[in-house]
Amino acid sequence: MLYRFRFLSGSPTRRGQSTAGRGAVIRAILPSRLEYRDLAIRLVASACKLVPTSGDEFGNEVVSAFSEALNNVVIHGGGSPEDEVEIEIDLGDDRLTLRLKDYGMSFDPRTVAPPDLDALPESGMGAFIIMSFMDQVSYEAGTPNTLSMTKVVGRSLQ
Per-residue pLDDT band for 45 (boundaries 50, 70, 90) equals very high
Q: What CATH class has 4-11+19-152?
A: alpha beta
List of E strands, the chain: 4-8, 25-31, 84-91, 95-102, 136-140, 145-152
Cα separation, 18 vs 139, in Å, equals 31
By CB atoms closer than 10 A (0-12, 13-18, 19+), residue 32 is buried
Q: Residue length, the chain? A: 158
pLDDT at 108 over 80: no
pLDDT at 46 over 70: yes
Q: Which residues 6+ apart lie within 8 Å of 21 measured at CB?
A: 50, 51, 52, 91, 92, 93, 94
Cα-flanking dihedrals φ and ψ of residue 139, to 5°? -140, 135
Position with higher pLDDT, 23 vs 41: 41
The pLDDT assigned to 85 comes to 93
Cα separation, 11 vs 13, in Å, equals 7
The domain spans of the chain are 4-11+19-152
Helical residues (DSSP H) of 77-145, grouped into ranges: 126-133
